[in-house]
Structure 1
Amino acid sequence: MNFDRVVFQGLQGPLSDSLHKDFTNLFRKGYVRANGGVMPEYFQEFAEDIKNFNVRSDDAFVCSFPKTGTTWTQEMVWCIANDLDFEAAKVPLQVRFPFLDHTTLFDYEDLLSTRPDVVFPPHVLDSIGFLDNFPSPRFIKTHFPWPLLPRQIVENKPKMIYVARNAKDTCVSYYHHSRLLEGYRGSFDDFCELFLGDSLCFAPFWSHVLEFWHRRNEPNFLFVKYEDMIKDLPSVIRTTADFLGKKLSDEKVAILTEHLSFNSMKNNPSVNYEDVVEINRKYNLIDKKEIEKGSFMRKGSVGDFKGQMSKDMVSRFDDWTEKNLKGTGLSFNV
């Protein structure tokens, strides 16, 4: 795949029909493949802007497939890099650690033309421009797969932290997220089929993960597993601090570990994205029943799939995982 340019292809087949039927809404009119990855049609308007995005050598990117521990990793990275400045961390995470992709994913033009009462902040309406004007050092979130990232990442070598999670739990979490914030209307089993068929936004899942896994030994790359954060967060904090050139005492590691605990994160308004959920609730942008019963942070655990996937589906995910990870040296203990 040519890293320097973006090639678009149409989506075809039963899974494409399912994606368009259950995932096309007010914000998304359809989907395409961009350098092999599934993206909303609206992304085509911004592909070159993303490729030409000015990357600075002191940037820090947190990269991931959706729902793999991104927010958790962002907060960890930001707090370490900013010497545990919890007062400054009261600023919403999406403002101090902007989401590069945001504007490319959701087409708000039709909505705003008919709903002048709806107000979105600058980091939502123009995430690329917002980050272009952001002072250094910048902290940048992205879900873009490797072939869609800015060209200058290769030459300017910013810090690149990638967080990965086992496919089954990722699928379950992505399903609930999609119902809560992206208007997905299909069943869980249909969503699993889309996941396994590499037909969800930002898919294919395994190529997304492995493109970064294969770069894990480059000096500006750090590969983190969600399961390791659950098992031994202090150890991951220390590894991340070393990568960022920071030294943390045992006391500070303990303080940050508590700050990053699931209960702390879920109850922290600067990171729990309840303000985003509230926008959807306030303007009735997503099904009211989904808003009422859902939350951005659900369980923060390993093995959540066991209560939701059938045995047959679990077996299919396990076979799919084994096939894709064979010979890579990457594994997930679930």
Structure 2
Amino acid sequence: MDTPQQHEDVISPPPPPQAKWWVDGQRIRHKGFWFKPEFITATEAIRAHYTPLPSDIILASFPKTGTTWLKALTSSILRHSSTIHNNHDHMDNLNPHELVPFLEIELFGETPSKDITKITSPRVFNTHLPLSFLPDTLKTSGSKVIYITRHPADTFVSLWHLYNNKFGTEISIQEAFDDFCKGLVPAGPYFDHVLEFWEARDQDRVLFVTYEDLKGKPEENVKRIADFLGCETMVEKVVEECSFENLRNASKERGEGVHWSGTKYDMFFRKGVVGDWKNHLTQEMMKELEDIADMKWSGSGLDLNIFNNSASQ
């Protein structure tokens, strides 16, 4: 007969993997995704206490896929809108991350710093959470979700640079890449995260945009975002105001500002280019990403062509 200790060993879950990316704290797997425990707690609070309004705008993204840029563009679109009355602050005074708070940190985290009831409409929030983590009422509330994504190769390279620079670590690119492919990265797996929002596009009031499209045709895609939000706005002005150069220069002028995550604001602006992966990844690495995309996205209508092949040309 098994002893109590033997039985406990059988039913106890295996310890979480010690991924190289966990330098800022251990992650736990929840509903298929890897997050810090406090983010899982925040998710429960969001589902229990966040009541989406028809005018709410959710900016969703996987880390390092264009989050800062989307925050800046949306804020600028609203500020220059002739059809939506808003009182959003000017980016001359604030970093995009100060303009748009994270649901899972500043609003429903362990020590929320903002009162959601005091935010003027239209309320704009950001999240790195997968769609399945958000309240079911989001689908029927009339709220609008904009999801930005980026080619997995450039996403990986940008995330790897950020972690090494932020924490002073020296995670080798091969070790980091192996973990990325296994999904053992913050908010990972990347491919599952993207797929959730892809499958909800259009019918669930989700606008799906890519970093590459915004870089290649900024005015056309800013107009697309504005139309989705029901805004008449100054498209050319928005594009100019939110250029990578202007945003990076504004961040430098602010000095040593620090984000709630401990990231210096200027770390959010590295190169802002498409195809930087070619300076870091081998063709074998790229082939592995392509194979994972084919497997994960099979039958969904989603493939790497959504990025217009701009990261592999």
- Give me the TM-score of the superposition, normalised by structure 1: 0.76
- Match for 1:49 among 45, 49, 54? 45
1:88 matched to which residue of 2?
A: 90
2:139 matched to which residue of 1?
A: 154
- Match for 1:299 among 244, 253, 271? 271
Residue 23 in structure 1 maps to residue 16 in structure 2:
no
What amino acid does structure 1 have at the position aligned with 2:241? Answer: H
1:168 matched to which residue of 2?
A: 153
CA contact (8 A) 2:19 2:184 kept: no
2:292 matched to which residue of 1?
A: 320
3-state SS, counterpart of residue 38 of structure 1: strand
* 1:44-101 residue CA offsets vs partner (Å, 9 max, x unmatched): 4333212122322211011010111111111111111222699723333233211122
What amino acid does structure 2 have at the position aligned with 1:154? Answer: K
Report the aligned-residue RMSD.
3.1
Residue 32 in structure 1 maps to residue 14 in structure 2:
no
What amino acid does structure 2 have at the position aligned with 1:237? Answer: V
* 1:92-126 residue CA offsets vs partner (Å, 9 max, x unmatched): 3233211122369998xxxxxxxxxxxxxxxxx41
What amino acid does structure 1 have at the position aligned with 2:22? Answer: F
1:79 matched to which residue of 2?
A: 76
2:239 matched to which residue of 1?
A: 257
CA distance in 1 between counterparts of 2:69 and 2:170 reads: 27
Identical positions, percent = 28
For structure 1, list consecutive stretches of 5 or more residues without a partner in the other structure.
1-8, 108-124, 281-285
How many residues are treated as equivalent by the alignment?
287
1:110 matched to which residue of 2?
A: none
CA distance in 2 between counterparts of 1:10 and 1:241 reads: 47
1:299 to partner: Cα distance: 0.9
- Give me the TM-score of the superposition, normalised by structure 2: 0.81
3-state SS, counterpart of residue 295 of structure 1: helix
CA contact (8 A) 1:175 1:191 kept: yes
Identify if the C-alpha distance between structure 1 residues 11 and 46 changes in structure 2 by more than 3 Å, giving closer, same or farther.
farther
1:43 to partner: Cα distance: 2.7
* 1:268-290 residue CA offsets vs partner (Å, 9 max, x unmatched): 2399995127995xxxxx8xxxx
Deviant stretches of 4+, over 4 Å: 9-13, 84-87, 103-107, 182-185, 270-274, 277-280
CA distance in 2 between counterparts of 1:188 and 1:104 reads: 34
Identify if the C-alpha distance between structure 1 residues 303 and 18 changes in structure 2 by more than 3 Å, giving closer, same or farther.
same
1:35 to partner: Cα distance: 1.2
Identify if the C-alpha distance between structure 1 residues 49 and 272 changes in structure 2 by more than 3 Å, giving closer, same or farther.
farther
